[in-house]
Every structure is written in structure tokens, then in C-alpha cells.
Amino acid sequence: MQQKWSAVDEYLEQNLIPEDEILTQILANNRRAGLPGVDVSPTQGQLLALFVRMVRAKRILEIGTLGGYSTLWMARELPSNGELLTLEADPLHAAIARENLHLAGVNRLVTVAEGPALDTLENLGDRPPFDLIFIDADKPNNPNYLKWALHYSRPGTLIIGDNVVRSGEVTNPVTTDTSVQGVRKFIEMIGADPRLTATAMQTVGVKGWDGFTLAWVNA
């Protein structure tokens, strides 16, 4: 099935996603630097870009930068006075991301905050709320990231959580996998919070079997 899923993804990418030398170069830079190959796929990147466009986001928070591939997809949709704050714990990843975002010409719009995301979030201080928040970092901390996302949101903020299906393991209530445990608690917190209207989608493709949550902060 994985071969078929990947073939479909490749077909969709060829027909729907324009070729982009900068995005291709960023992925090559990430591989050359030895970063893990867990970036979003091109079709997923385009989906993030469309979400930014649909909510007319001017302020974005990304938790988990890696090499800045998903960051660029979103940053390109920002207006000239927009802002994207992306949080990355690993110094090498943060350095590669800064290089990539400078190469892409969006570094003026993007701040890469280096260090543990929870420390950064705790020390952001008083700031205007974000319009879109993308959570794609260490899954055991997803419940904590959701708490901070709500703290820095407003009615109408869209909160996206990536990699929540975990090849179907999310249904396992007795799992010892801390990533799955974190995702399960994250999903259950979203569903129990009256401030949120949410859904989730399973995905298959070059990244295997996974999925994402969408949560809208209610008025």
C-alpha cells in the first residue's frame, strides 16, 4: 500500500504543485546537513499555505521548525507586515532554518527562536494573539503546547496539530509510546474544551499513514 500511496502523492504533486527551485533546494540543504527527513510533503505544505490564505493570517506561531520547509510555505502567504515566529529546540536545525529562510528571502518576516519551545512560550510575555498556530514538535509535549496555543490565541485563531494518527497507534489506549500518549491526551483535551470546534483528518501518502487536527477557537 505504501508504494501506491506514494505514487498517488507523486501524481497529485506533479499536477497540482508548481515546481519550485527554492523549496527543492531547502530539502536538499536539510538532507546535506543530516536533518531527519520528516518535513511535510509538498501537498501538505500547500495545504498549510492555503490555510494561511483562508484565515488571512498576519501573525503565525509554528512550534517545531526543523529546517524551515513548512515555515517557508506559510511565510510566503503573509502580507508584507506579517510575522511568523517559529520555535526550534535543536541549535543545528535552527541554524539551517535561518540559512534556508534567508535563501528564500523571507527572513524579514520570520523569527527563529532557538531553545526548548516550552521555555520560549513561557517567556514570550504580553503579545498580540496569533491568527494561526501550527504544532509540529515533540509529541509528548503536545498537551502543553495546546495550553500555550490557547493562551496566545483569539476567537477565530486556527490551531493545527500535525502527525496525530501515528500509523493508527492513536487508537491504542494502553500504548507505552510517549508520543502516542501525548497525541491521545492532546486530542482528548481538544474535544473536551468548549472553546474549540475541531475535527481531524487521516492522511496517506509519501509520509505513510498519519493525519492532522484542525481546531477553531470559538467566539
Phi, psi of 182 (to 5 degrees): -65, -40
Residue 95 grid coordinates: 541554524
Residue 39 grid coordinates: 518535513
Classify domain 2-217 at the CATH topology level. Rossmann fold (3.40.50)
Q: Which residue has the cell 490555510?
A: 51
How confident is the model at residue 1, as a pLDDT?
93
**Weakly modelled stretches of the chain, pLDDT under 70:** none
Average pLDDT, the chain: 98
How confident is the model at residue 68, as a pLDDT?
98
How confident is the model at residue 76, as a pLDDT?
98
Q: Does residue 135 contact residue 63 with C-beta atoms inside 8 Å? A: yes
d(CA 57, CA 81): 11
Please give the model's pTM, rounded to 2 decimal places: 0.98
d(CA 180, CA 162): 12
Spatial neighbors of 161 by CB under 8 A, at least 6 apart, are 135, 136, 142, 146, 183, 186, 190, 212, 213, 215
pLDDT tens digit sequence for 91-117: 999 999 999 999 999 999 999 999 999
How confident is the model at residue 16, as a pLDDT?
98
pLDDT tens digit sequence for 174-208: 999 999 999 999 999 999 999 999 999 999 999 99
How confident is the model at residue 67, as a pLDDT?
98
Q: Does residue 83 contact residue 58 with C-beta atoms inside 8 Å? A: yes
